[in-house]
Amino acid sequence: MPDRLIPTDRLKPSVSTFQQIQQAVILLSPQKTFEPKILIRLKLSLENAHEHDPSFIQQILMGLYDRDYGRDHPSGFMISSPKTITAKIVLLTAGVYGLQLFIEPFTSWFVLTDDWFRQPWNGYRLLSYGFLHSPRDLGHILINMFVFWMFGQELERKYGRREYLWLYLWAIAFAGLVWSLIEVGYPGPPVFLVGASGGVAAIFALYALNFPRRQILFMFIIPMPIWVAALIGLLYDINHAMNRSGNIAGAAHLAGALAGLYYYKFGFSPGRWLADRLTGFTPKLPRRGPKLRIHEPNDMDSTMTQQVDAILKKINEQGQDSLSAKERSLLEKASREYQKRK
**Angle at alpha carbon of residue 336, lines to 53 and 48, rounded to 5°:** 20
Are 139 and 175 in a shared domain? yes
Considering the domain boundaries, does residue 285 fall inside one? no
Considering the domain boundaries, does residue 295 fall inside one? no
Are 127 and 181 in a shared domain? yes
The domain that holds 269 is classified in CATH as 1.20.1540.10
Are 16 and 156 in a shared domain? no
CB-based burial of residue 45 (10 Å sphere; 0-12 exposed, 13-18 middle, 19+ buried)?
middle
Residue 247 is predicted with a pLDDT of 59
Considering the domain boundaries, does residue 294 fall inside one? no
Q: Are β-strands 215-218 and 222-225 bridged in parallel, bridged antiparallel, or unpaired?
A: antiparallel
Domain count of the chain?
Answer: 2
Per-residue pLDDT of the chain (342 residues; tens, 9 = 90+): 444 444 444 444 444 555 555 555 444 444 444 445 455 555 555 544 444 454 555 555 455 444 444 444 444 445 556 789 999 999 999 999 999 999 988 988 998 888 887 888 888 999 999 999 988 889 889 999 999 999 999 999 988 898 999 999 999 999 999 988 888 777 667 788 888 999 999 999 999 999 999 988 877 788 889 899 889 888 877 777 777 655 567 788 899 999 999 999 887 656 556 666 666 554 444 444 444 444 444 445 667 777 877 878 777 777 776 778 788 777 777 776 665 554
Q: H or E stretch including 206?
A: helix 197-210
Are 95 and 163 in a shared domain? yes
Are 92 and 204 in a shared domain? yes
Are 29 and 126 in a shared domain? no
Beta bridge partners of 217: 223
Are 216 and 245 in a shared domain? yes
Are 99 and 129 in a shared domain? yes
Considering the domain boundaries, does residue 254 fall inside one? yes
Are 119 and 268 in a shared domain? yes
Structure confidence by residue, pLDDT tens digits, 130-179? 999 988 889 889 999 999 999 999 999 988 898 999 999 999 999 999 98
Integer Cα distance of 311 and 197 in angstroms: 44
Considering the domain boundaries, does residue 2 fall inside one? no
Provide the domain limits for residue 335. 8-73+300-341
Considering the domain boundaries, does residue 234 fall inside one? yes
Residue 233 is predicted with a pLDDT of 85
Considering the domain boundaries, does residue 26 fall inside one? yes
Integer Cα distance of 252 and 190 in angstroms: 16
Residue 141 is predicted with a pLDDT of 92
Query: Is the pTM higher than 0.75?
Result: no
Are 145 and 263 in a shared domain? yes
Considering the domain boundaries, does residue 205 fall inside one? yes
Look at residue 113 and give its three-state secondary structure. Answer: strand
CB 100 within 8 A of CB 132: yes
Are 135 and 205 in a shared domain? yes
Residues 6+ apart with CB under 8 A from 331: 308, 311, 323
Integer Cα distance of 275 and 281 in angstroms: 8
